Structure 1
Amino acid sequence: MGYSKDSPVKDILGDPQARRLVEQALPGVLNSPMATQLTGFPVGALVAHSPAIQDDEQALSALWEGLAALDGSPALRAHRPFPQPAQHYEDASVPLGSATVSHTGSGRAREPYEVQLDGPTHGNPFVDVEVSATFTCGEREVVVGGFYDGRGRYLVRLLPETAGAWSFRTSSTARSLDGIVGTFTVEGAAEGQHGPVHVDGFHFRHDDGTRHTPLGTTAYAWIHQGADVREATLRTLERAPFTKLRMCVFPKSYLYNSNEPELYPYPRGEDGQWDFTRFEPAFFAHLEESIRQLGQRGIEADVILFHAYDRWGFSDMGAAADDHYVRYLVRRLAALPNVWWSMANEYDLLWAKTEDDWERMAALVVKEDPVGHLLSIHNCGPFYDYTRKWITHSSVQRIDVYRTAENVDEWRRQWGKPVVVDECAYEGDLDQGWGNISGQEMVRRFWEGAVRGGYVGHGETYYRDDEQIWWAKGGQLTGESPERIAFLRRILEQAPDGVLDPLPSDWDVPWAGVAQQQYLLYFGFGRPRFRSLVLPPGNAYYVDVIDTWNMTVQRLPETVQGACRVPLPGREFIALRLTRA
């Protein structure tokens, strides 16, 4: 069998004839960072992202025909289906509900409450045993799926949203875990515990009504680093303005991501291969603790379920293993209040998965998450259909080297949902176009997105000899944009209701705010000495000249009204705020 579009890049790199064919069609492509880092990628992904050949159908056809004529391409790995939970896992001699149960007599609203069952260990409880619990408070009833935590421990976790007297009853395919009952009391939420974030129109609020402003950053593989780096990451976040962190469950293999993690999600079998029917509880406990540590600092964990930057095989486990993982992950994490779900980082690079796969797994997330945490999916090239019912908000990567945040208001109209530009490029100095914009440009993109009614995300990619780069591993921030993003956060908090919505604008300057009450204009690259305005009649307005880079707010001595001319400093990155007197 010859090579095809689905053949891994590593097979092409290892075959001189195949490599020669690809290099003849696309000179130098196999020496690119994408090829050398993404050796598990299908070669078709490399070709699809090489525009030089896309318009030459004859050359493309000749390339695939030439590769198909060669010998040595390994057959695509067959994925085995999983067994269903065993209906007779324990025989009739085992008394119903005989497992030991442990739980506290009280908990707090908006904090995880856990029921532990100590039960059987024979066979493979990760797939053999299904366990759940029905929690009841008055007329409120919540069914929550449980999971096996190893060493005979089965856990069911609830995130109670209200105080009151609660009870539970378990259900299981294992007789000893079935029919166990208990009661507990939930007290009011602790001060500062706002609960999960949900969509509020084009914006976001916590359960208690507190406004959430998702000014995010990215440290994809921070949980896969040593303890010293993880601790440095948390210390940095304590001083930073960010309220959300994008992070991967699976380890990442890409530029500046070459180290092996200390823990993996799966154990290895005797043959050295991953056993996708079992999980490594120590890894997931570490993941949970990392998310809790973010929550203690007021940071939402935007948990990325899948990504393509993989040398271990986690991006192509097969549908049964994918579903098994999604179900287990959601059941473990859904009770944590500061979780967001991201089905994928750059879903379109995961060539082993189809749109049907994403739809199936997203439905599984919705089914297994009784809290209804925010849920989205992130693109590399083409957007996913963000109008899909299960998607709560868009999670967008740049569509152009320069222009992305400028589209936020249009995307709001197109999708009817909040727009989060999770990747607008990164402040740094790497040789890749996504990783070398200036701090000024990063701040400009944040303001452009904000004044158009959306939210832009941050990342930092300054080169270091030790390859300790924030966007990849966390650690320390050294760029110029974070303190200016903190300044923007303060400006947003001062807006009516803590948000900006786009208003009818001039052709050269976007306007945002609340009509009649407050207007915010952002000039970006423009540097006018003054601006002529026509304001609604009958109102006088205070005028604040905001220098978004130097982080100053200068109130002019006199109010303005009607047709007026406002003096400006003639510098870039100036905003103008008009507040009704």
Structure 2
Amino acid sequence: MKSITHLIAFILLFSSLGFSQSSVEVWDRFEVSLVGPEAGNPFDDVTISAEFTNGAVKKTVNGFYDGKGKYKVRFMPDRTGKWTYRTISKTKALNAKSGSFDCVAATGNNHGPVQVADTFHFKYADGKRYYPFGTTIYAMTHQPKELEETTLQTLKENPFNKVRLGVFPKYYSNVENEPLYYPFEKLEETKGANGKVKFKWDFAKFNPEFFAHLEERIDDLKDLGIEADIIIFHPYDKGHWGFDSLGMNNDLRYIRYLTARLSSFRNVWWSLANEFDYVKTKPRDAWDVYTKAVVANDPYKHLCSIHNGSVYYDNWKPEYSHVSIQNGSALEDFGRAVLLRDVFFRPMVYDEVCYEGDLPQRWGHLRGEEMVEAFWQGIIAGTYVTHGETYKNESNTVFWAKGGKLVGSSPARIGFLRNIVEAAPGPLELADPWKDHHTATAGNGYYLVYFGKQMNAEWVFNLPKKAGPKPGQKFKVEVIDTWDMTIRKIPDVFEMNTPEPYRIFDKDRKTVRLPMKPYLALRITPTDQ
């Protein structure tokens, strides 16, 4: 009996001192778990943070209350070697707890968080290029388990490497179900005479189970190589839950809690809002307060943006790493997509360009060809595009809202484009943005020429002088059918002549024969032949 008593005492002591890993990979998640007070409201009454040290590097990280007397501090180390930590709290049981862990080199698909690179593009922390080919599943984490698992399997089978999803559930057309979990402690649930359910919440107390479920799905996305673009606020509540009208104090409490829980996830991006200007309960100047709170409470400075409805926000402000835009018209023709990028001087992600589907709303009935062309127009202009699908699938759900399976024709073609982009020697830019909106270059003599809806029987080989091809330089050409997903090599070799004012032609004015079809492109690369 004594031995059992001693064992229990040891376990209790071990728990009070906390639990953490002995080693983690760089950019992985290290967690300290401690036992502390449960009385009152620990979410407000108790604070905890920790200072992590590696040589001369020190980082202070906020912790959070995880319910049932558990307090956690999570940390994402950004360099290898030995890290030590010491907790900081006014609560004695949580203060001055110390320890260490070894941070080892990354393995497998761990490339670290995505960062801005070369002004308009992205890289992982380890230097590997990242090209966002995203999709949209707003209420992905608020569905029955079986549907969420189907969605993850669909993502595994498709080419998308970024998903836009909301923290809060959504009450909107095609997504009006009650979620499995709610973000706040529920005080009351009543049904009115009209059959509508009314909720009363304690906005000062969070539901850790809700956030743990969200975290599980973010980790699932990470395992699939997918970035989680987390939408913090949205306007699609209609007073059903009241999560869009918490008031500034509750909004800031929520931001502090969310960032404490999620900042250590390497695949997280912050999106302050979807269609911020449609959230009528928050004045425009409140978004500066919220954005600064997110950035201040994220020690790793994950990518951060804000998404518009009808009115653009001040995306040039220093807190925003890139621009998340709703504007389908910018990708309907040549030369438009680059204009907003040049205004905001940030990486440009057209996160909503309307959706492939058959909904009656004008934003929900793009043909697959239109969605694929939007991606090509964006890529040629040195910008990026996000997909969404609004067909009803076999689960009787709309992928853009709840997930499930994809049934549209665009995802395979988007994957085909992704393979082409990732095989290029670098990110694409318009070769001569003032004079040629069809030709992009990735440097090193690599060009993509996109024709869009235009149908041509032949194309006279020529390149923009500004892109730098030299007289005598030789090139080979491949004809890309972006819809049929074929690549055909042209047997001719093309040799550059002396430059004319803005163009350089083949010395014999050779042409490339083309089928009379829309949505063709040319890949032009140097050759020694």
Q: TM-score, normalised by structure 1?
A: 0.81
Q: Give the C-alpha shift of residue 408 in structure 1.
A: 2.2
Give the match for residue 432 of structure 2: 504
Aligned to 1:335: 264
Equivalent residue runs for 1:28-427 within 5 Å: 99-201=16-118, 202-270=120-188, 272-310=199-237, 311-398=240-327, 400=329, 403=332, 407-427=336-356
Inter-partner Cα distance in structure 1 for 2:331 and 2:123: 31
Question: Does residue 569 of structure 1 match 2:515?
Answer: yes
Alpha-carbon separation, structure 2, partners of 1:408 and 1:218: 20
Q: Would the aligned equivalents of 2:18 and 2:34 in 1 still touch at CA under 8 Å?
A: yes
- Do 1:98 and 1:177's aligned partners in 2 also have CA atoms closer than 8 Å? no
Rounded to whole Å, the distance in 2 between the matches of 1:208 and 1:355 is 37
Contact 1:496–1:513 (CA under 8 A) maintained in structure 2: no
Match of 2:388 among 446, 459, 471: 459
1:58-108 deviation line (CA, Å, top 9, x unaligned) = xxxxxxxxxxxxxxxxxxxxxxxxxxxxxxxxxxxxxxx994322122222
Render the CA deviation track for 1:252-277: whole Å, top value 9, x for unaligned: 01111111111100111258511000
Which amino acid is the alignment partner of residue 309 of structure 1? Y
Q: What amino acid sits opposite 1:230 in the alignment?
A: E
The 5-angstrom pairing of residues 434-473 of structure 1 reads: 434-463=363-392, 467-473=396-402
Q: Residue 566 of structure 1 aligns to which amino acid in structure 2? A: V
CA drift of 1:190 comes to: 2.2
> In terms of mean alpha carbon deviation, does 500-509 or 423-432 score higher?
500-509
The structural deviation recorded for 1:361 is: 1.0
Once residues 462 and 98 of structure 1 are traced to their aligned partners in structure 2, the CA distance between those partners, rounded to angstroms, is 50
CA 1:415–1:401 in 2, change beyond 3 Å: closer, same or farther? closer
Q: Which amino acid aligns with 2:493?
A: T
Q: Is the 8 A contact 2:326 2:352 kept in 1?
A: yes
Aligned residue type for 1:159: M
Q: CA deviation at 1:566?
A: 2.1
Task: Say which is worse superposed, 558-567 or 289-298, in terms of deviation.
Answer: 558-567
Q: Is the 8 A contact 1:406 1:449 kept in 2?
A: no
Output the CA distance in 2 between the equivalents of 1:343 and 1:204: 20
| 8 A Cα contact 1:401 1:434, kept in partner | no
Report the Cα distance in structure 2 between the residues aligned to 1:217 and 1:277, rounded to whole angstroms: 33
SS of equivalent residue, structure 2 residue 18: strand
Q: Deviations over 1:390-428 (max 9, x none)?
A: 110100111549738852211221111111001111110
Gaps of 5+ in 2: 1-13, 190-198, 464-468, 497-504
Q: What corresponds to 2:460 in structure 1?
A: 532
Per-residue CA distance 1:199-246 (angstroms, 9 max, x = gap):
002111111111111100001001100011000000000110000000
Structure-2 separation of matches of 1:370 and 1:485: 34
For 1:519, what is the secondary structure of its paired residue?
A: strand
Contact 2:379 2:428 in 1 (8 A): yes
Q: Displacement, 1:301? A: 0.5
Partner amino acid, structure 1, of 2:383: G
How far does the alpha carbon of each residue in 1:298-342 deviate from its partner, in whole angstroms, 9 at most, with x for none?
000000000000021000100000000011001100111110100
In 2, the alpha carbon distance for the partners of 1:431 and 1:347 equals: 24
CA distance 1:507–1:467, change in 2 (3 Å): farther
Shift, 1:188, TM fit: 1.5
CA distance in 2, matches of 1:173, 1:354: 35
Aligned to 2:449: 521
Q: Is the 8 A contact 1:522 1:575 kept in 2?
A: yes
Tell me: CA distance 1:465–1:139, structure 2 relative to 1, closer, same or farther (3 Å).
closer
- Distance in 2, Cα, partners of 1:135 & 1:390: 24
Structure ranking higher in strand proportion: 2
C-alpha RMSD over aligned residues:
1.8
The 8 Å contact of residues 249 and 303 in structure 1, kept in 2 or not, is answered as: yes
Distance of 2:442 and 2:91 partners within structure 1? 58
CA contact (8 A) 1:509 1:523 kept: no
Q: Which structure shows the higher helix fraction?
A: 1
- Counterpart Cα distance in 2 of 1:105 and 1:548: 49
- Match of 1:361, SS? helix
Q: Indicate conservation of the 8 Å contact 2:29/2:77, yes or no.
A: yes
Q: 1:405 to 1:506 in 2, by over 3 A?
A: closer
Name the % identity: 44
Q: Please, which runs of 5 or more residues in structure 1 have no aligned partner?
A: 1-96
TM-score w.r.t. structure 2 length?
0.88
Deviates more, 1:226-235 or 1:552-561: 552-561
2:480 to 540, 543, 546: 546
The SS at the match of 2:132 is coil
| Partner of residue 420, structure 2 | 491
Contact 1:126–1:277 (CA under 8 A) maintained in structure 2: yes
- Separation of aligned partners in 2, 1:432 and 1:401: 19
Q: Determine if contact 2:52/2:58 at 8 Å carries over to the other structure.
A: yes
Moved over 6 A (4+): none
